[in-house]
Amino acid sequence: MRSLSVFLLLVSCLVLPAFSAAPAEVPPANLIADPVNDPGWKELFARLAPQQARRSQFEERRIFPFRTTPIVLTGEIRISPDRGLSLNYLGAKPQIVIIDQKGVLMRDERGQQRTAPADPRADAATSALFHILRFDLPALAKTFILHGRRDGEAWTLGFEPRDATLSGLIGSVIVQGEGGRVDRINMVKSEKQRIDILISDTKETASFDEEELKRFFR
């Protein structure tokens, strides 16, 4: 059984990615041994690493082994090169989840905040997901084995944690997209235990305004 603190750490991991409406993709088989310098991927990774603020819509499907139907959530994703990632869950119980260098922060509609507690496993998971969403390749290469597949402009990347504990926490992560756009993220522990997120309507902007930064980031 997980400890109290592990609860929230796992939260951080599994919650952030919330991505993909489609069934989980089969991880691509082509190993990318040196993602920083691989000539086939270098240019794409440079495009994927956020240089500007991004705002997207998402639909998250949480698939639990003990449920016959998935839990479906919708919201907005904001990525700031400086401030990290922010997920704004809409719906009956609005909630903002912020992932940045300091860890994970959750903020409810009343403004009440809570952070994920310290735990080496949580830190590793949070850090890994933070790097994935920022396509920070040097950092990613330390933690994950990368596989990739391209089909014209479309691409699929698979991230397999090198560490078994981390793998147990977040499973494998599959990111799909086209050109410089991320369309889907799947976090797969098993067929019946995963989170799929579909990302749409991505818009880039020079930066978020002050109010948006204050509301959606730490």
The least CB distance from residue 22 to another protein, in Å, is 19
- Interaction between residue 106 and another protein (CB under 8 A): yes
- Interaction between residue 102 and another protein (CB under 8 A): yes
**What is the rounded CA–CA span in Å between residue 129 and residue 140?**
9
Which residue, 32 or 73, has its beta carbon nearer to another protein? 73
- Interaction between residue 138 and another protein (CB under 8 A): no
The least CB distance from residue 189 to another protein, in Å, is 10
User: In this chain, which of 11, 44, 79, 140 binds another protein, going by CB under 8 A?
Assistant: 11
- Interaction between residue 6 and another protein (CB under 8 A): yes
**CB atoms closer than 10 angstroms to residue 215:** 15
- Interaction between residue 162 and another protein (CB under 8 A): no
> Taking CB under 8 A as the criterion, which residues in 39-98 touch another protein?
62, 64-69, 71, 73, 89, 91-93, 95, 97
Which residue, 181 or 189, has its beta carbon nearer to another protein? 189
The least CB distance from residue 146 to another protein, in Å, is 21
**What is the rounded CA–CA span in Å between residue 111 and residue 72?**
23
The least CB distance from residue 96 to another protein, in Å, is 9
CB 134 within 8 A of CB 146: no
User: In this chain, which of 166, 195, 197, 199 binds another protein, going by CB under 8 A?
Assistant: 195
**134 - beta bridge partners?**
none
Structure tokens at 90: 């809409």
CB 72 within 8 A of CB 87: no
- Interaction between residue 167 and another protein (CB under 8 A): no
**What is the rounded CA–CA span in Å between residue 178 and residue 152?**
9
Stated length of the chain:
218
- Interaction between residue 103 and another protein (CB under 8 A): yes
User: In this chain, which of 39, 120, 138, 152 binds another protein, going by CB under 8 A?
Assistant: 120
Q: What is the largest CA-CA distance in the chain?
A: 48
Cα–Cα distances in Å, from 28 out to 50, 78, 146, 174, 189? 23, 27, 9, 9, 16
| CA-closest candidate to residue 41, choices 142, 147, 130, 131 | 147
Which residues of this chain interact with another protein, rule CB under 8 A?
Answer: 1-15, 18, 62, 64-69, 71, 73, 89, 91-93, 95, 97, 102-104, 106, 110-121, 123, 126, 193, 195
